[in-house]
Chain A
Amino acid sequence: MNKLSLLGLLSLVIRRDLVLAMRRRADVLTTLIFFVIVVSLFPLGVGPEMDMLRKMAPGVVWVAALLASMLSLGRMFSADYLDGTLEQMMLVPQSLSALVLAKILAHWMVSGLPLVIMAPVLGLQFDMPAQALWVLIAALLLGTPILSMIGAVGAALTLGLRGGGALVSLLVLPLCIPVLVFGAGAVEAIVSGTSVGSHLSLLGALLVMALVFTPWVTALALRISME
């Protein structure tokens, strides 16, 4: 009997999605440029008062990352849905949850990871201390995959709906509040001199929980959308 191993499936789907993303670079760049512009608008709008900027930096970067990740959610399944490849993916003789996990990971690599890399540069605009920048990177590394995973559930539920793009943000944004609170909280903690451990461990716990449940829920939602 033909069957692909689980790891084989993961690497095949990730490679496929990365190649597709590279052939449509504009989509990837839109998310990143949106993130950069939104964060850069704040110093211009609020004025160059260093104390205030330093204080609001973590919140601004996190909210911008959250909005930027919403921007790319629509793409996660819709292109595959429209050209029929999603249908074929549901007929793959392997676990659909594993396939969905691979798609989420690939989506994070092209939409979440660039934000993590860009964030410290933007943090400098706000005069964030070096220590805080490191914590920001760590928190974003733990947090952005959660955003992709929760977003995947929303994207799967709104697949094929008209105006799904706006709806998915309404569904997903409230669920991302804990990530925002602990992510921004970690950076504020290091600035105010308290321990960051608790914030980062809570983010880690959220990540593990999302890793366990969201691929499965997304797979169920996709099956409903295909009916």
Chain B
Amino acid sequence: MLEISNLACSRGDHLLFSDLNFSLSAGDLLQVQGANGSGKTSLLRTLCGFMMPATGEIRWCGQNIRELGDAFYAEMVYLGHLNAIKDELNALENLRISAGLAGCKVDDKQVIAALRRMGLRGRETLPVKVLSQGQRRRVALTRLLLSNAPLWILDEPLTALDVGAVGLMQELIGEHLLNNGMVIYTTHQPLEVAGVATRWLALS
């Protein structure tokens, strides 16, 4: 369970948001809303520990994430604006490496099955640089399928995706929540997951 209390975040001298309180427990879906520049990405990066909060605390299962360190990282997946895939490698190699780094033991069959589910049949062994933007995003999203971490932190997961892929994402998030996962994400596109009430967090 993720708890945020009195969180404030600043970029340089500019205070982005302050007094932010919310908590996320198993099965919760939280959408962070706000205009451009309101600090959505900064909030997610603070949750990942890239940025130090100006004040306040982020706790995972009752403990500060700064103290937890690796134990927290083992239970979360972060998908940022950047896809974090190497152009020179193919989709299979990319995912094998990222799953390996995250400590998940996956074999090639699982990776290929996951890629096929993401609609990348026949693209498994092509170098990623020949894929389109949307297909690259799909490769990045496949990381979610291969991880068994309960917390997903997704920054604009739907950019460059077509209608079919957005539907697939909704399905994946739904499954993850049913497995007692939790998801916090930002998006400017509507994303509705069947049977789950989305909570909103507005940054202004």
Contact = CB atoms under 8 A, between A and B. Distances in A.
A29 interface: no
Interface in A1-30: 1-4, 8-9, 12-13, 16, 19-20, 23-24
A25 to B, nearest CB: 11
Contacts of B78: 87-88, 91
A88 B70 contact: no
Contact of B86 (A85, A91, A226): A85
A3 B74 contact: yes
A95 B149 CA distance: 19
Contact of A87 (B50, B71, B97, B148): B50
Interface residues of B, number: 31
B175 interface: no
Contacts of A85: 84-86
A191 interface: no
Contacts of A93: 70-71, 73-74, 102-103
A49 interface: no
Majority SS at the chain B contact face: loop
Contacts of B74: 1-3, 93
A124 B152 CA distance: 59
Nearest to A9: B101
B100 interface: yes
What size tier do the contact residues of chain A reach?
A: 20 to 34
A19 B87 CA distance: 12
Nearest to A83: B82
B89 A91 contact: no
B93 interface: yes
A91 B88 contact: no
Contacts, number: 77
Nearest to A13: B101
A88 B89 contact: no
Contact of B85 (A24, A83, A226): A83
Given A87-B78, A92-B73, A227-B50, A4 B101 contact: yes
B174 to A, nearest CB: 23
B16 to A, nearest CB: 14
A2 B104 contact: yes
B103 A88 contact: no
B78 to A, nearest CB: 6
A198 interface: no
A4 B80 CA distance: 23
Given A3-B70, A4-B103, A16-B97, A88 B84 contact: yes
A195 interface: no
B48 interface: yes
Interface in A63-89: 82-85, 87-89
A208 to B, nearest CB: 27
Given A83-B84, A88-B78, A88-B98, A2 B50 contact: no
A87 B84 contact: yes
Given A1-B74, A90-B50, A227-B51, A83 B86 contact: yes
Given A1-B74, A20-B89, A226-B50, A84 B101 contact: no
Contact of A84 (B70, B73, B76, B80): B80
A23 B83 CA distance: 20
A94 interface: yes
B188 interface: no
B100 A12 contact: yes
Given A83-B87, A91-B76, A91-B78, 7 more contacts: A2-B149, A9-B101, A83-B85, A85-B86, A87-B82, A88-B101, A93-B71
14 contacts: A1-B74, A2-B102, A2-B104, A4-B101, A12-B100, A24-B88, A83-B86, A84-B81, A85-B86, A87-B84, A88-B84, A92-B73, A93-B102, A94-B70
Q: Which 4 pairs show the lowest CB-CB distances between chains A and B? A: A84-B82, A2-B103, A84-B84, A93-B74
